[in-house]
């Protein structure tokens, strides 16, 4: 199949064979039921038919569009029929017709994406609210957030003295070492380093992170502050994919046409991994 999508210029990309739609950097694999009930009526019979099937539709950011199809054609020499891929000529169509196709696909993509992500967020939130248990998934994600929140300290123009910057480097390394150093103990007993500013307020005259008092376990109050952030992070970050080497964020779901109820099974697996502390390493 001819590649007609330029990642840096593409606004909307539809692959009818894979049942995937990418819009402004976000790609979804559409489940069979939604594709049949909501996408097919947009495509059939003007853009997709039994003997002239749509392969790819691309709407570029500059307003132009291209389409690939595959036609069931007879080889004049051999007499054999086979599917032949070709670039479909859109010039006979009015701009309004192509814009209408683009608009309707975007509307359905948005509907599918919002519904899917809301379902996942609700399920994740329910899973976390059912249990106050601190597991290794939660520990690892909180560790990741603390690293992200201290990234600014590593910038060249960070307003820190050389000594303060050294302490922040030590703090971040301790965070990174948590899985390796403490994996053998229960998650609710894992200790986190206090931040350099917190240590400065302690005024204990001890070298930073040289004493047990410079570490703390995660109380439920701290976990509660992170719970919403964890849910949002998981809902956005579960799975990644690429279109023509362009990374995009998506919610991973297998094709339900391959395995019935596979999407819900995937969500069940995710929630099980969260409960068992196996996600987010």
pLDDT digits (tens, 9 = 90+) for 127-166: 555 555 567 777 888 888 889 889 999 988 888 899 999 9
- The number of C-alpha atoms within 13 Å of 276 and in the hemisphere containing its C-beta is 8
Helix (H) / strand (E) containing 200: helix 196-202
* 81 and 158 inside one domain: no
Domain span holding position 33: 10-122+238-258
Task: Let me know if residue 159 belongs to a domain.
Answer: yes
Average pLDDT value for residue range 168-189:
90
Task: Let me know if residue 230 belongs to a domain.
Answer: no
* Residue 96 neighbours by CB under 8 Å, 6+ apart: none
* 64 and 117 inside one domain: yes
- Could you give the C-alpha distances from 47 to 43, 68, 97, 137, in angstroms and in order? 5, 10, 11, 46
Higher pLDDT, 225 or 107: 107
pLDDT digits (tens, 9 = 90+) for 201-221: 998 989 999 999 999 987 766
* 197 and 58 inside one domain: no
Task: Let me know if residue 276 belongs to a domain.
Answer: no
Contacts made by residues 245-253, CB under 8 angstroms, sequence distance 24+: 245/7, 246/7, 246/8, 246/25, 248/22, 248/25, 248/26, 248/27, 249/25, 249/26, 250/26, 250/27, 250/28, 250/29, 251/28, 251/116, 251/117, 251/120, 253/29, 253/31, 253/116
What's the total number of domains in the chain? 2
Residue 241 neighbours by CB distance under 10 Å: 15
Of the pLDDT bands very low, low, confident and very high (cuts 50, 70, 90), residue 51 is confident
pTM confidence score: 0.47
As given in the structure block, the two tokens for residue 44 are 């059939």
CA-based nearest residue to 267, from 277, 257, 252, 256? 252
The answer on pLDDT for 79 being more than 90 is no
Task: Let me know if residue 70 belongs to a domain.
Answer: yes
Q: What is the model's pLDDT at position 235?
A: 58
* 20 and 117 inside one domain: yes
Residue 256 in contact with residue 263, Cβ under 8 Å?
A: yes
* 35 and 106 inside one domain: yes
- Could you give the C-alpha distances from 226 to 77, 129, 219, 232, 233, in angstroms and in order? 68, 12, 11, 10, 10
CA-based nearest residue to 267, from 159, 117, 156? 117
Task: Let me know if residue 188 belongs to a domain.
Answer: yes
Average pLDDT value for residue range 18-27:
85
């Amino acid at each position: 199949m001819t590649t007609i999508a330029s990642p840096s210029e593409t606004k909307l990309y539809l692959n009818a064979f894979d049942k995937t739609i990418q819009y402004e950097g976000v790609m979804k694999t559409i489940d069979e039921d939604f594709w049949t009930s909501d996408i097919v009526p947009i495509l059939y019979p003007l853009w997709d038919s039994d003997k002239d099937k749509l392969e790819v539709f691309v709407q570029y950011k500059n307003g132009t569009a291209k389409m690939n199809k595959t036609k069931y054609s007879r080889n004049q020499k051999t007499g054999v029929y086979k599917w032949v891929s070709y670039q479909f000529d859109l010039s006979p169509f009015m701009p309004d017709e192509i814009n209408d196709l683009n608009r309707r696909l975007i509307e359905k993509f948005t509907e599918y994406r919002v519904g899917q992500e809301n379902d996942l967020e609700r399920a994740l939130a329910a899973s976390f609210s059912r249990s106050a248990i601190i597991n290794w998934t939660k520990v690892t994600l909180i560790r990741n957030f603390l690293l992200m929140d201290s990234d600014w300290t590593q910038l060249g123009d960070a307003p820190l003295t050389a000594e303060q910057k050294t302490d922040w480097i030590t703090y971040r390394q301790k965070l990174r070492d948590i899985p390796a150093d403490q994996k053998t103990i229960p998650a609710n007993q894992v200790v986190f380093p206090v931040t350099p500013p917190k240590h400065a307020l302690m005024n204990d005259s001890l070298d930073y992170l040289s004493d047990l008092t410079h570490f703390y376990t995660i109380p439920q109050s701290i976990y509660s502050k992170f719970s919403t952030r964890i849910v949002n992070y998981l809902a956005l970050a579960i799975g990644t994919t690429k279109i023509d080497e362009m990374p995009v964020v998506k919610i991973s779901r297998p094709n339900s046409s391959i395995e019935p109820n596979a999407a819900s099974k995937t969500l069940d697996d995710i929630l099980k991994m969260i409960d068992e502390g196996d996600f987010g390493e």
